[in-house]
Amino acid sequence: MRMTYGGSMSNQPKQIKERIIPHNMPEINTLEAYMYKIICLVTNKWYLGVHKENDKLYWHSSENDEFNKLWVNPTSKFKYEILEWGTYKHMTTREHEELKKVDAKNNPMSWNQSNGIPLGKRPPDYDTINKILDNIKNGEYSNVTLYKNKVETIKFKQSRLMQVISTRKISDIADAIDKELSTDKCDPLVLLEEYYPESGGSLGVGGNHTKEAFLKSKHAQHSPIDAILIPRKDYENLTANELRLLGHGLNPNPDVEKTPTGVDDIVSELYKGQIQNGIDVFNTSTGRWNVDVKKYLVDTLKFKKSHLEKIKLGLKNIIKKNHQRMVAGLVFKTYGEGHYTDGSCKDTELEEYRKKYNTRGVTSLVEKSSSVTLGRIVSKANGNDTIHICIWHIDPNNEERWPTIKAGILKQLKWFDNSKKQIKFNEMDCWVSDIS
């Protein structure tokens, strides 16, 4: 079957009632491959495939019996749409990405019987990856400036195993942008140019946190951010896996490891200084920092806003601990974290509690108040409806917050289908005599 692009389709099956060919698609006989989608206009069920162009058009390569029975029925109604085009290798990669995204082989609306197989069983093309990284480093690629409305539309390929975006990191970068009133100190976004040929859209492989921080910053309302464009010809033969490796290459470990001043280190020194010179580091009533202290933390040590909150929290904990010790002769008791592979606690006192309630039909757990959630509790219940939980606190502030956290968990228990479960909380002693 032959397809004449831009005109009519000779030998077009009667069951194809609609066909969609992008207006900017080159002459079909000049293409190496393209990705297409066939949709049943009655049920919206679909099949997605890749055609390797040899000047002949086969309408599909599906082996699904249900689809093929409908296909040969002249009363059926289908839409045929060409989605993308490029090298055969790149199209098989894109096919795999799109099918995997919706788990096509298990999707009731799909006739695909697999999630596709990217072309080529070979080691990753590290030479091409490293060449692209060198070109970026040496400024070989063109730079563009992008404004907010354009940046908002850019999707990013996640290179890390866990698809997690750090809200804290985003906030820190956004604060830094607003402080400098520019993005000059930000690394540019790194984009795969014309990744989506139909729209000409790019795909990001480096700078996802920077993108989100830029959009969050006040500065984004009126100023741009730089981006590096990797030409399509340089990356189009890379598989999905190789593109992720390229993303990792944009975030290497430093040649020389440095250990920056930690929050715990500075908390200890600030408290010692406050005791020695009698000048408060921050006002405990308003929470405002001493101007000179804040300037040192931000300008000299380069602490971010999130770090300042941690430092302030650490100082509050030290102050509370020492106040209790002075007033009542008490110290804050800490417990050992961690479990052995059999589930028993490494802290002997916590383990004694766990064993005490770990009876038939009852699950006994030990949890920190700072990390316990209803989801964690239910997932560890082992099918039992009665759950005893020993709660311990890592510091006085978490002890204060516990009543609110506990109330929230019990409230959530009513929202979800856990009405049969009985959760009983018991707190370990936090304050003990300083004489033992």
Q: Residues 263-317: pLDDT tens digits?
A: 877 887 777 666 556 667 888 778 888 888 888 888 777 888 888 888 888 888 8
Type of residue numbered 422:
Q
Specify whether 132 is located in the same domain as 181: yes
Task: Report the chain's mean pLDDT, rounded to a whole number.
Answer: 81
Contact at 8 Å (CB) between 320 and 330?
no
Specify whether 301 is located in the same domain as 415: no
Q: Is residue 335, in this structure, part of any structural domain at all?
A: no
Label residue 120 by pLDDT band (50, 70, 90): low
Q: Is residue 92, in this structure, part of any structural domain at all?
A: yes
pLDDT at 162 over 50: no
**The domain containing residue 85 runs over which residues?**
16-106
Specify whether 241 is located in the same domain as 273: no
Specify whether 158 is located in the same domain as 232: yes
pLDDT at 161 over 50: no
How much is the pLDDT for 193? 92
How much is the pLDDT for 36? 93
Specify whether 134 is located in the same domain as 168: yes
Label residue 198 by pLDDT band (50, 70, 90): low
Specify whether 48 is located in the same domain as 87: yes
Label residue 88 by pLDDT band (50, 70, 90): confident
Q: What is the CATH number of the domain that holds 133?
A: 3.90.1530.10
pLDDT at 155 over 90: no
Label residue 9 by pLDDT band (50, 70, 90): very low
Specify whether 238 is located in the same domain as 275: no
How much is the pLDDT for 100? 87
Rounded to whole angstroms, the Cα distance separating 200 from 219 reads 27
How much is the pLDDT for 132? 94
Contact at 8 Å (CB) between 275 and 231?
no
Q: pTM of the entire structure?
A: 0.45
Specify whether 223 is located in the same domain as 268: no
In this structure, the number of other CB atoms found within 10 A of the CB of residue 96 comes to: 20
pLDDT at 118 over 80: no
More confident residue, 331 or 229: 229
Specify whether 282 is located in the same domain as 174: no
104 secondary structure, DSSP code: G
Region 84-98: mean pLDDT is 87
More confident residue, 317 or 107: 107
For 12-63, what is each residue's pLDDT tens digit?
A: 788 899 999 888 888 877 888 899 999 999 999 999 999 887 645 568 878 7
Region 70-85: mean pLDDT is 91
How much is the pLDDT for 43? 95
More confident residue, 53 or 236: 236
pLDDT at 8 over 60: no
Q: Is residue 51, in this structure, part of any structural domain at all?
A: yes
Among 121-125, 297-301, 314-318, 397-401, where is mean pLDDT lowest? Answer: 121-125
Specify whether 90 is located in the same domain as 51: yes
Secondary element (H or E) of residue 400? helix 396-415
More confident residue, 197 or 430: 430
Type of residue numbered 17:
K
Exposed / middle / buried, residue 135 (Cβ in 10 Å: 0-12, 13-18, 19+)? middle
Structure token pair of residue 45: 């069920």
251 secondary structure, DSSP code: S
Among 70-74, 134-138, 198-202, 337-341, where is mean pLDDT lowest? Answer: 337-341
Q: Is residue 11, in this structure, part of any structural domain at all?
A: no
Q: Is residue 157, in this structure, part of any structural domain at all?
A: yes
Domain stop point among 106, 139, 164: 106
Secondary element (H or E) of residue 317? helix 305-328
Q: Is residue 360, in this structure, part of any structural domain at all?
A: yes
Q: Is residue 362, in this structure, part of any structural domain at all?
A: yes
How much is the pLDDT for 55? 46
Specify whether 245 is located in the same domain as 268: no
Specify whether 374 is located in the same domain as 411: yes
pLDDT at 163 over 90: no
Among 85-89, 258-262, 344-348, 429-433, where is mean pLDDT lowest? Answer: 258-262
Domain stop point among 74, 106, 138: 106
Structural domain total, the chain? 4
Rounded to whole angstroms, the Cα distance separating 49 from 62 reads 8
Structure token pair of residue 139: 């400024």
How much is the pLDDT for 124? 65
Q: Is residue 2, in this structure, part of any structural domain at all?
A: no
The DSSP annotation for 160-225 comes to SSS----HHHHHHHHHHHHHHTSSTTSPPEEEEEEEETTTTEEEEEE-HHHHHHHHHSGGGGT--E
How much is the pLDDT for 142? 93
Rounded to whole angstroms, the Cα distance separating 263 from 307 reads 7
Domain stop point among 300, 328, 356: 328
How much is the pLDDT for 3? 39
